[in-house]
Amino acid sequence: KEKTKLQKQREDELIQKIHKLVQKRDFLVDDAEVERLREQEEDKEMADFLRIKLKPLDKVARSSASSRAEKKAEPPPSKPTVAKTGLALIKDCCGAAQCSIM
């Protein structure tokens, strides 16, 4: 009752601005959640890909380790071996700059 017409109008404008800001915030929160879920799915796909890609190398590493025990006088190979660190395998697999696991 004590508010003037101008005060009521200003109050309505502020309420509308607040409402728009809340809608914008909700959109950004939802968008961030969708992005988080997408990245999580990409990480899972990359881990599955690497597991499949590196599984044959693991078998080769086991067989070469057993054959190396038998042939100790064998000179070191000129190419990198499978006994690399996981980081080196990832770099060889898909490039360090592209790998989301890194």
24-74: per-residue pLDDT in tens? 999 999 999 999 999 999 999 999 999 888 887 777 777 766 665 555 555
Mean pLDDT of the residues in the chain: 77
Q: Are 42 and 100 in contact (CB under 8 A)?
A: yes
What pLDDT is attached to residue 90?
53
- What pLDDT shows up at residue 75? 55
Alpha-carbon distance of 59 to 34, in angstroms, equals 38
Alpha helices, H only, 1-102? 5-70, 86-94
